């Protein structure tokens, strides 16, 4: 994705807690758009292959959560984790990992990921269509910095994870001027 490119407009079907609802599942549907998430803010967006998968669950999401305050200190307003998973899977994953700071975005249909040019087949792992691992600094809906793992392809045999790590993004934010 070229820098300075506006991210695509997409509506995400999320589940949000609603204290007015009774019972064991007090959540309601809420549609949030890319405008809701990205307009007027400088954020980090990172995308990964799937909730509850090894690298995503043991390193990537936990490290973004742990380093969240350092992102804030570097001028980032919010950190978003996006995956081609539904809202139920994303909410359960966040709860299982104790995520409190990073906002999880469900791209259930893969529409956003497809429009970003990052949708890949992972049939070799039994996943179907998923996101390639990448991250971006997005300023008011425009890509300011882009971090894409090498080897973007369908049914990739490896699972690269370096370029889109929170440590690499923070280092870039600390050493590079705002574009």
The count of structural domains within the chain is 1
Question: Do β-strands 103-106 and 119-121 pair in parallel, antiparallel, or remain unpaired?
Answer: unpaired
Residue 19 lies in a domain: no
In a domain, 165, yes or no: yes
100, two tokens: 């409190």
pLDDT at 4: 87
Task: Name the DSSP class of 111.
Answer: H
Check if 56 is active-site: yes
Tell me the residue range of the domain where 70 lies: 31-174
Residue with tokens 């890949």: 120
Mean pLDDT of the chain: 94
Residue 6 DSSP label: B
- pLDDT tens figures, 16-73: 989 899 888 888 999 999 999 999 999 999 999 999 988 888 899 999 999 999 999 9
Q: Does residue 25 fall inside a structural domain?
A: no
Instruction: Give the integer Cα–Cα distance in Å for 90 and 45.
Output: 15
In a domain, 8, yes or no: no
Please say if the pLDDT value at position 152 is more than 90: yes
Q: Is residue 4 part of a domain?
A: no
The one catalytic residue in 56, 116, 120, 137 is 56
């Amino acid at each position: 994705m070229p820098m300075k490119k506006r991210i695509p407009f997409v509506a995400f079907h999320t589940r949000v807690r609603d204290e007015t609802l009774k019972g064991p599942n007090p959540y309601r549907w809420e549609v949030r758009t890319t405008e809701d998430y990205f307009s007027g803010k400088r954020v980090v967006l990172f995308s990964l292959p799937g909730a509850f998968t090894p690298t995503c669950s043991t390193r990537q999401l936990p490290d973004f959560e742990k380093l969240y305050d350092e992102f804030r200190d570097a001028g980032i307003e919010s950190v978003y984790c996006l995956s081609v998973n539904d809202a139920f899977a994303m909410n359960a994953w966040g709860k299982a990992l104790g995520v409190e700071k990073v906002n999880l975005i469900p791209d259930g249909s893969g529409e956003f990921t497809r429009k970003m040019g990052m949708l890949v087949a992972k049939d070799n792992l039994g996943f179907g269509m998923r996101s390639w691992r990448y991250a971006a600094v997005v300023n008011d809906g425009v890509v300011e910095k882009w971090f894409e793992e090498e080897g973007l392809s369908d049914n990739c045999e490896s699972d690269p994870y370096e370029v889109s790590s929170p440590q690499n993004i923070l280092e870039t934010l600390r050493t590079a001027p705002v574009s």
